[in-house]
Amino acid sequence: MNLGPTELLLFTLLIIPLALVFPIWGIIDAAGRPDSAWARAEQNKTLWIVLQAVGMLVCFGWILAVVYLFAIRPKVKQAQDFGGTVA
């Protein structure tokens, strides 16, 4: 499969920024949640921030960000909103 100039431009202008948006969103969201919510959710705030930042630098940060946003974030958000432990 050869990419022509149009396809390469579309890839560059659409896919690459999306690959950066998710980790940046995940990092900002994780950093903004209080440490107490992370502790109640039994998750590690520093780990998830570092994983997404390093992953972004080596081109798989979007995968980690999706995991964070759909699996970890709801638990931390629930712990933050209700103050209880999360199963």
**What are the tens digits of pLDDT across the range 35-74?**
999 999 999 999 999 999 999 998 889 999 999 999 999 9
pLDDT of residue 53: 96
Evaluate the CA torsion angle 80, 34, 26, 43 in order and state its sign.
Answer: negative
Question: What is the reported pTM?
Answer: 0.81
Flag whether pLDDT at 87 surpasses 60: no
Q: How confident is the model at residue 12 (pLDDT cuts 50, 70, 90)?
A: confident
- Burial classification of residue 11, based on how many CB atoms lie within 10 Å of its CB (0-12 exposed, 13-18 middle, 19 or more buried): exposed
